[in-house]
Amino acid sequence: MSSPPPSLPTGWQTVIGLEVHAQISSTSKLFSGATSKFSIEANEHVSFIDCALPGVLPSLNGSCVEKAILSAHALGGEVSRCSIFERKHYFYADLPQGYQISQLQEPLMRGGKVSIALEGESSREISIERLHIEQDAGKSLHDMLAGKTCVDLNRSGVALMEIVSEPMLHSGEEASAYVSKLRSILMAIGSCDGNMQEGSLRVDANVSVRAVGGRLGTRCEIKNLNSLRFLRQAIAYEAMRQYEIISSGGRVSQETRLFDSEKGVTRGMRTKEEAHDYRYFPDPDLPQVTLTSEYIEGLRAVLPELPDARIARLVGTHNLAAYTAGLLAEDKYLSDYFEELSSKVEGLSSKDVANWLLGELSSCQRERGVGLAGLVSDYGLSSSRAASLLSLIGLGKISARAGKEVLSKMLEDSDASPSSIVEALGLQQLGDREELLPLLEGLLASNSAQVSAYRSGKVAVFGWFVGQAMSLTKGRADPKVVNELLRELLSG
Ligand code: ADP
Ligand code: MG
């Protein structure tokens, strides 16, 4: 197969609607008392209900409904006062009941919105169609015993929220921004732990392409994407695949596809013709869920600060771009840390502090394989200690480059203060004109050829002089002062 060009040609548009399955944080499953904890060992957490022995009766876990209502409030949707559970039938080895308990006609929530902001763009609202509660299925393991399929029922019966968006997203980047915003909202209210690796949040992406302004195209649904990178890759690949079919005169057939993350391609799994007839009907074992408006509204009152409110505050009081504020607000710990840190730092703007956190400090985290909380607890990088380092840069005591060196020493020795490290390594910035002047005069004197080249119009030599001055001082010279002095000396 020829490898597809990276993006659709002008005049064409990708359309994406997402179905997100978020595991509801709860100690037990949706209809049984078994624990819903993640487990490496298969079939550790399975009750009679989860393996569907005859005669067992499900009973609804009220705390899961409560978390789903909190989520509905956080998404700004309309909570249904009366919702019903239905059986959705299909035959699969990892579904011992022969049906999944879900909600079709009366979901817990309709409507709602998630706002997203891409880099350099203002924010945009993506509408949500519905949120319903359902139970998870088990898992078929094809690689445990040669030639055999094993079934792990740990997940069987675990409570999920399925959150379905309108087809309003137009790129993998938008889809990924939508999922990470949704994830941060659910994490902020504690209704889902957001752990994509362990499968607490999985995404089905419905993708179609169309000529801009035209009717919606036929969609394919890519199942079970469990990372944002895979989501972006799968959408980009699938959009090009469909475009190539259409532009060579073919028709896209509606089907379910799987993403092969090793090859970066999507592959057909089943076509519309083979689609299941789920034979939904209300589960006779479960009464309908009737909620009073006092109860529903009471839950609205206990919502904590949501990521959008935090973003608005970061934009308003710290003057950050919506995109940067969004990155910080994805993680409550990070945005708390940012606010503490920027209140303590002298001489740098909040924007500089945010860039330092999201740039330099996050690469430190990747290198060490820890999160920000880990840097704080295991490496002693409290916000006050980080603030002393940043203030040294902000007040011109050390250069940003020296700051990197100080940071890495601070992480090696969690007791050392930034200023003692600066002292010990002799990293103080040379910003004193009197101190730098003789040094630069010496530089000019021993490079008279470059001086005359500059004076006869080769202005690019200026940069070379700056570079020499910086390396003479091992990066300690204040580049601003060096620039000023060199300009004076060279023009003279
Ligand atoms: P189903 O239950 O069969 O998957 P739904 O009507 O519930 O069907 O739609 C599921 C998802 O597909 C929704 O997120 C919706 O926005 C999206 N969707 C519907 N039509 C299209 C389309 N033409 N292109 C992209 N996404 C679509
Ligand atoms: Mg679907």
Q: What is the pLDDT of residue 64?
A: 97
Compute CA distances 442 → 104, 432, 471, 474, 478, whole Å.
81, 16, 14, 16, 18
CA–centroid distance, residue 486 to ligand 1 (Å)? 64
> What are the boundaries of each domain within the chain?
12-298, 307-425, 433-490
What is the mean pLDDT of the segment spanning 19-45?
A: 95
Does 84 contact ligand 1 (Cβ within 6 A)? no
Dist. CA 256–CA 238, nearest whole Å = 12
Does 16 contact ligand 1 (Cβ within 6 A)? yes
Q: Using 50, 70 and 90 to split pLDDT, how confident is the model at 220?
A: very high
Residue 183's nearest CA partner among 202, 166, 168 is: 202
The rounded mean pLDDT for the chain is 93
Does 206 contact ligand 1 (Cβ within 6 A)? yes
CA–centroid distance, residue 28 to ligand 1 (Å)? 31
Dist. CA 339–CA 359, nearest whole Å = 16
Contact 211, 8 (CB under 8 A): no
Contact 94, 156 (CB under 8 A): yes
Q: Residue 139: which residues within 8 A CB-CB, separation 6 or more? A: 94, 151, 152, 154, 155
pLDDT in tens, 404-450: 999 999 999 999 999 999 999 888 888 788 889 999 999 999 999 99
Does 242 contact ligand 1 (Cβ within 6 A)? no
Q: Using 50, 70 and 90 to split pLDDT, how confident is the model at 5?
A: very low
Matching residue, tokens 């700056």: 466
Strand pairing of 255-260 and 220-225? parallel
Residue 470's nearest CA partner among 450, 440, 449 is: 440
* 274 C-beta neighbours (distance < 10 Å), count: 9
* 149 C-beta neighbours (distance < 10 Å), count: 12
The CA radius of gyration of the chain, in Å to the nearest whole number, is 29
- Burial of 14 (C-beta count, 10 Å sphere; 0-12/13-18/19+): buried
Q: What is the pLDDT of residue 39?
A: 85
Does 107 contact ligand 1 (Cβ within 6 A)? no
Q: What is the pLDDT of residue 272?
A: 66
Q: Using 50, 70 and 90 to split pLDDT, how confident is the model at 1?
A: very low
Q: Is the pLDDT of residue 460 over 60?
A: yes
* 411 C-beta neighbours (distance < 10 Å), count: 18
Residue 111's nearest CA partner among 67, 74, 159, 64 is: 74
Q: What is the pLDDT of residue 275?
A: 64
Matching residue, tokens 């530089």: 443
In ligand 1, which atom is closest to the CA atom of 218? 23
Q: Which CATH number applies to 433-490: 1.20.120.80, 1.10.10.10, 1.10.10.410, 3.20.20.70?
A: 1.10.10.410
Does 141 contact ligand 1 (Cβ within 6 A)? no
Q: Residue 144: which residues within 8 A CB-CB, separation 6 or more? A: 150
Single-letter code of the amino acid located at 473: T
Q: Looking at the DSSP assignment, which residues form a beta bridge with residue 222?
A: 205, 257
Contact 180, 201 (CB under 8 A): no
Instruction: Give, for ligand 1, the residue of 104, 206, 280 to mutate: max count of ligand atoms closer than 8 Å to Cβ.
Output: 206
Residue 314's nearest CA partner among 292, 291, 343, 287 is: 343
pLDDT in tens, 336-374: 999 999 999 999 999 999 999 999 999 999 999 999 999
In ligand 1, which atom is closest to the CA atom of 207? 25
Dist. CA 91–CA 277, nearest whole Å = 11
Does 276 contact ligand 1 (Cβ within 6 A)? no
Q: Is the pLDDT of residue 2 over 60?
A: no
What is the mean pLDDT of the segment spanning 27-40?
A: 94
Q: What is the pLDDT of residue 123?
A: 87
What is the greatest pairwise CA distance in the chain?
A: 98
